[in-house]
Amino acid sequence: MSTADLAAAARAVAFTARRLERCLGDMTLPQFRVLSLVASSPERANRVAERAAVSRPSLTGLLDGLEARGWVRRVDVVGDRRGVLLEVTETGTQALAQAEQAMVDVLDELLDVAGPGDRDQVVAGLVALGEALRSQRDQRDAAGLPR
């Protein structure tokens, strides 16, 4: 694979991300990422900041917005005055499901122009990209490296 192919792929990912964000309505992609992470496993705020690759101050702003919409709640950690555990509310679970469906619909529409074989390759490639991101995150976590 050439550098030009990788550059074209990077542009496609960037432009697709913008299309996906537009379909989310009043939810942003950073909010979607944080909400998805919290929904997958209730965690402390500092851990979510690491996993979402955002600074702690940025996460605070994102969480304020998510909490104002009733999508997330902060729960104090017993025995740790500074610790905060994040949980997705029922409303947040519904908002996340709607956002995911909206993104599925956009990808489905985008891939309508591809032939069946190309469509399958693109989806398989995106799934592999997601797996590579998780694998890299897990390796960095195991090594104690920043993201």
Task: List the chain domain ranges.
Answer: 3-113
Our separate counts of H helices and E strands in the chain read 6, 2
pLDDT tens by residue, 9-50:
999 999 999 999 999 988 999 899 899 988 987 677 777 877
**Residue 121: count of CB within 10 angstroms of its CB:** 12
Looking at the predicted structure, is the pLDDT value of residue 62 above 80?
A: yes
113, 103, 67, 107: which is closest to 86 by C-alpha?
67
CB 86 within 8 A of CB 43: yes
Looking at the predicted structure, is the pLDDT value of residue 146 above 70?
A: no
CATH level 3 topology of 3-113:
Arc Repressor Mutant, subunit A (1.10.10)
Residue 147 has a pLDDT of: 57
Both tokens of 90, joined, read 């029922």
